[in-house]
């Protein structure tokens, strides 16, 4: 599917206003916004900031590192890594609105000097070879048909020995994926691979796989905990549902059902450029 159609899927036109309105409704002071105030809304993947924290730790970041977030969304993971490890971060995303919102939120929480955001495609990164000490991608490649270009570009921009962490939804064996979901309304720009296909694709571009983790059990527990909180307290004021736009509830329900029925699998792969 053309890149502009993927961008259209994620754009809503009023995202910054929707986020700041939700923050105000939740009692946050927009004049003195703290990075952690954004945690509930800015991590556009299952398990939220907890998943980001685990992925980031696997890279073993140091303050002097330059790290690339491929598919950075509104910048939540990049802000987490910057504030936690002191790294210099670069984020790229295909969606212009996400990039604009990310820059404004970086400024709002005092991290603009540590993070740069560029609108770009993951299959044609605008960086020189060997520009980064580490890179990661969280729940992004589901929208990327050309996996060889995506993974090859990640390999190219890493310095020798650099780590690449890939958090993925892989195809399961429980039947066809149910739509709509957060990354696709109808499946026409959904390009899932199996775990084995993903590992083979990584090897073909030159990565050495360090570890593979099944995040399914933790994600199922997360979905169950979310349902219990909603039953007890009602719908939350803040959440990444704000990023999903129309049909957010249906998308979230299908995402949980796909995982729980084995239609998709949540995996995390750590690899390294030799």
Task: Encode pLDDT of 126-172 as tens digits.
Answer: 999 999 999 999 999 999 999 999 999 999 999 999 999 999 999 99
pLDDT higher than threshold 60 for residue 12: yes
* Cα separation, 42 vs 72, whole angstroms: 10
pLDDT higher than threshold 50 for residue 258: yes
Peptide bond into 180 cis (omega under 30): yes
Structure tokens at 132: 């980064």
3-class DSSP assignment, residue 6: helix
Please provide the average confidence, as pLDDT, over all residues in the chain.
95
Structure tokens at 233: 């307290």
List the domain boundaries for the chain: 3-273
Structure tokens at 90: 């670069």
Per DSSP, 184 falls in state B
Helices 96-108 and 76-85: crossing angle in degrees, nearest 10, is 30
Across 46-73, average pLDDT: 97
pLDDT-based confidence at residue 1 (cuts at 50, 70, 90)? very low
3-class DSSP assignment, residue 161: strand
Cβ-Cβ contacts under 8 Å for 210 (sequence gap 6 or more)? 163, 270, 271, 272
> What percent of the chain has pLDDT above 70?
99
pLDDT-based confidence at residue 13 (cuts at 50, 70, 90)? confident
pLDDT-based confidence at residue 263 (cuts at 50, 70, 90)? very high
pLDDT higher than threshold 80 for residue 2: no
Cβ-Cβ contacts under 8 Å for 222 (sequence gap 6 or more)? 46, 47, 50
Structure tokens at 26: 């939740």
pLDDT higher than threshold 80 for residue 17: yes
* Cα separation, 2 vs 167, whole angstroms: 23
* Cα separation, 184 vs 178, whole angstroms: 10
Judge whether 81 and 55 are in contact, CB under 8 Å. no
Give the pLDDT confidence score for residue 3 in this predicted structure: 65
* Cα separation, 146 vs 1, whole angstroms: 10
Statement: 3-273 belongs to CATH 3.40.50.150: yes
pLDDT higher than threshold 90 for residue 101: yes
Helices 15-25 and 96-108: crossing angle in degrees, nearest 10, is 40
Per-residue model confidence as pLDDT tens digits over 171-191? 999 999 999 999 999 998 999
Query: Comparing C-alpha atoms, which of 148, 145, 150 is closest to residue 2?
Result: 145
Cβ-Cβ contacts under 8 Å for 17 (sequence gap 6 or more)? none
CB atoms within 10 A of CB 160: 8
Judge whether 41 and 243 are in contact, CB under 8 Å. yes
* Cα separation, 23 vs 29, whole angstroms: 8
* Cα separation, 115 vs 196, whole angstroms: 34
Structure tokens at 84: 């936690």
Across 50-73, average pLDDT: 98
DSSP for 206-251, written as a single string: TEEEEEEEE-HHHHHHHHHHHHHHHHHH-S-SSSTHHHH-TTHHHH
């Amino acid at each position: 599917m053309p890149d502009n159609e993927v961008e259209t899927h994620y754009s809503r036109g009023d995202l910054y206003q929707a986020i700041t309105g939700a923050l105000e409704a939740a009692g946050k002071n927009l004049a003195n916004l703290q990075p952690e105030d954004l945690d509930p809304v800015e991590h556009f993947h299952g398990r939220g900031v907890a998943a980001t924290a685990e992925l980031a730790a696997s890279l073993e970041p140091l303050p002097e590192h330059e790290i690339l977030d491929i598919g950075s969304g509104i910048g939540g993971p990049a802000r987490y890594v910057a504030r936690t490890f002191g790294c210099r971060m670069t984020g790229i995303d295909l969606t212009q609105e996400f990039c604009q919102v990310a820059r404004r939120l970086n400024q709002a929480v005092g991290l603009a000097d540590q993070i740069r955001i560029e609108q770009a495609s993951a299959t044609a990164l605008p960086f020189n070879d060997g520009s980064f000490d580490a890179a990661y991608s969280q729940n992004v490649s589901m929208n990327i048909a050309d996996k060889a270009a995506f993974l090859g570009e990640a390999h190219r921009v890493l310095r020798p020995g650099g780590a690449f962490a890939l958090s993925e939804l892989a195809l399961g064996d429980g039947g066809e994926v149910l739509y709509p979901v957060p990354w696709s309304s109808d499946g026409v720009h959904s390009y899932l691979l199996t775990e084995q296909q993903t590992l083979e694709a990584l090897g073909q571009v030159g990565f050495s796989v360090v570890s593979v983790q099944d995040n399914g059990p933790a994600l199922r527990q997360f979905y169950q905990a979310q349902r219990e909180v909603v039953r007890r307290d009602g719908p939350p004021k803040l959440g990444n549902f704000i990023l999903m736009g129309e049909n957010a509830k249906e998308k979230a329900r299908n995402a949980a059902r796909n995982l729980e029925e084995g239609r998709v699998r949540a995996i995390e792969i750590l690899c390294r450029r030799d």
